[in-house]
Amino acid sequence: MSSSSSGTDPLTAVGRLLWGRSLPPGPLVSAVRFSWSAAWHLMMRQLAPSDPAGSYSRPSGTFGSVPDRYLRNPSTARLHLYVALPCPWAHRTLIVRALRNLEPQIPVSVAAPGSDGSWEFPGGREIDGRDLIPGPDRANGRRTLREVYGMRRGGYDGRATVPMLWDVERREVVCNESYDIIDFFNSAAFDGSSGLDLSPPELKREIEEWNRVIYSNVNNGVYRCGFAQSQEAYDVAVNELFTTLDMLESHLSTSRYLCGDVLTLADVCLFTTLIRFDLAYNVLFKCTKKKLLEYPNLHAYTRDIYQIPKVAETCNLEAIVDGYYRTLFPLNPDHFLQLSFS
């Protein structure tokens, strides 16, 4: 039973014209392999800077620590939060903003991944600020997040990252470090905020210790796996990740949250990685030793936090999958090729 030549795609037709049904010649295969490897390393150096050993080195935010003037009287400032739904670091800020009832005080604009991987604001209808879907820039009317950063005095030519807290009146970046933002949201005395304290004084030291372990080995650990540029760097990262997940699984067998029965900022930070684990990190970032589903306590812990009122509304699983698999081209080149040649 022969196949019809009319159904052959153009690339296959060209290949058969050049080489018939035999394999491409060795020199061509070697040249393509070399070109792809060089291009991959070039893109990865821009997307994910690494140290000499090939380990991912996350760039620090340019605007860390919320200035004291905002801590003293936060409700007098016109603050605006910029986020993107796939990003776990931005997701932290949405959860704390929701749990602290800060939606009226801190409006939000939701960016989406552009074709070049940068954050942009889709055009279209104006959306209600309570709708956490990508839409227009509701503070400045800009097309991209880079343009917003560029509005600050003195301009800006660094990485335009989310989350980013913006002072509308001063036209200035307040902070773009996620933990500093959630700590500010939790501790500052906003008018109308809830009485929930996610960092009680008696637990601060314990929270800091959990964050030290979770940030390096889990939050950033999944990226160290996915963005590793050497086998050795990957092996170290994946071992530290799953050793820590095993430890957390054991700890949560006797504790509802990380610090006992009290939900804290450390739980928020862990949750935003876990909710993405099976969707993205297990496959795309090659964190394949186990799925979250295979950790009964961690999985139950994730479900528990998801079911806290207002948390589920901050979780857009479709946007997470779309953002990771469409945007991180060097990790998922097949999807890029399907888009390019479809």
Binding residues for glutathione: 119, 159-162, 177-178
- Specify the 3-state DSSP secondary structure of 113: strand
Task: Identify the CA nearest to 47 among candidates 179, 159, 145.
Answer: 159
- 301 carries an active-site annotation: no
| CA–CA dist 47, 54 (Å, integer) | 13
- 223 carries an active-site annotation: yes
Q: Which residue in the list 82, 87, 295, 325 is annotated as catalytic?
A: 87
- Nearest-5° Cα angle at 116, 235 to 79: 95
- Known binding-site residues equal 119, 159-162, 177-178
Position 66, amino acid: V
Report the 10 Å Cβ neighbour count for 255: 14
Sign for the CA dihedral angle at 238, 241, 244, 249 comes to negative
Task: Identify the CA nearest to 58 among candidates 161, 142, 151.
Answer: 161
Count the helices and strands in the chain (H runs, E runs).
Answer: 13, 5
326 contact partners, CB below 8 Å, separation of at least 6: 113, 332, 335, 339
Cite the DSSP H helix spans in 108-215.
Answer: 145-149, 178-187, 204-214
The DSSP output letter for 98 is H
Token pair recorded at residue 132: 């956490």
What stretch of H or E contains 317?
Answer: helix 317-327
What stretch of H or E contains 24?
Answer: none
The answer to whether 84 and 322 are in contact (CB under 8 A) is: no
Catalytic residue numbers read 87, 223
